[in-house]
Structure 1
Amino acid sequence: MTSTHLAILFLTLFSFPSFAQKHELGKVTMEELNEKKCPLDPVDFEYPNQEKLNVNLMIPEGYAVELLPEPKNLSMKDSLANFKYNAIKNGNQIQIACTFDINRAIIGPQHYEALKAFYKEIVDKQTEKIVLKKV
């Protein structure tokens, strides 16, 4: 496999938008959270929701996993929202599982900064790299 093929593998993996970057439940997007300075209104997701993403990637012949992101579980105060991320090597595959829960339709303005920090942690986690090395 050439370096071009390996680059395509990485582009394929990271072309999946992260939950937080693309998350558009109700009226809320990450862009809107970043634009607000000090919201007076609650953040309205319209309804509680759960999103799951499961990805299975084949490790190309002649390559081995050098680095996988560590698992991560995040939870906002009072379990307003939760996020779970796990990437494991299973034989000649990498399995990535993400779960994103919004447990309340409306999150009050007092939780705005915590929600913004929560989204940032999700984006940071989902942009960590998986490193393969040629063997």
Structure 2
Amino acid sequence: TPFIEKKMVRITIPEGYIIESIPESIAIGLPNNFGIYIFNVKMQGNKMMILSKLQMNTAIYPVLNYDEIKEFYKIIVNKNLEQIVLKKV
């Protein structure tokens, strides 16, 4: 069954802290429009918004695409493990 999973997180950076590092935004897709993944980080003043969207357009994939799907999910897992690092000033 096709599905879309969206997550949005809003973070307020506390006074006295600066961002040392944040995950980079990415957008990747599977061949034949099987699925897409978008991870977007936006800053506005001391507010950070993180949007994650996973859209899978089919539940059945050809065996020939197994390696691509495995790599696709590996990228998603690794992206979700990245950290936001704050530094006290």
Distance 1:107 1:121 in 2: 18
Residue identity matched to 1:117? E
Aligned to 1:111: 65
Q: Report what 2:45 is aligned to.
A: 91
Give the drift of 1:95: 0.7
- Unaligned 5+ residue runs, structure 1? 1-46
Mapping for residues 60-79 of structure 1, pairs under 5 Å: 60-79=14-33
CA-atom RMSD, angstroms? 1.1
Q: Distance in 2 between matches of 1:130 and 1:103?
A: 30
Output the CA distance in 2 between the equivalents of 1:129 and 1:105: 31
Deviation at 1:88, TM superposition (A): 2.0
In the alignment of these two chains, the number of paired residues is 89
Other structure's SS at 2:10 match = strand
The structure with the larger Rg is 1
- Correspondence for 1:15: none
**Which residue of the partner structure matches residue 5 of structure 2?**
51
TM norm structure 2: 0.92
Percent identity (aligned): 38
Q: Whose relative contact order is higher, 1 or 2, with alpha carbons under 8 Å and at least 6 apart?
A: 2
Between Structure 1 and Structure 2, the one with more helix by share is: 1
Once residues 79 and 64 of structure 1 are traced to their aligned partners in structure 2, the CA distance between those partners, rounded to angstroms, is: 39
Secondary structure in structure 2 of the residue aligned to 1:106:
coil
Report if the CA contact (8 A) 1:68-1:88 is conserved.
no
Q: Displacement of 1:105 after TM fit? A: 2.4
Instruction: Name the structure with the higher strand share.
Output: 2
2:79 is aligned to 125
Moved over 3 A (4+): none
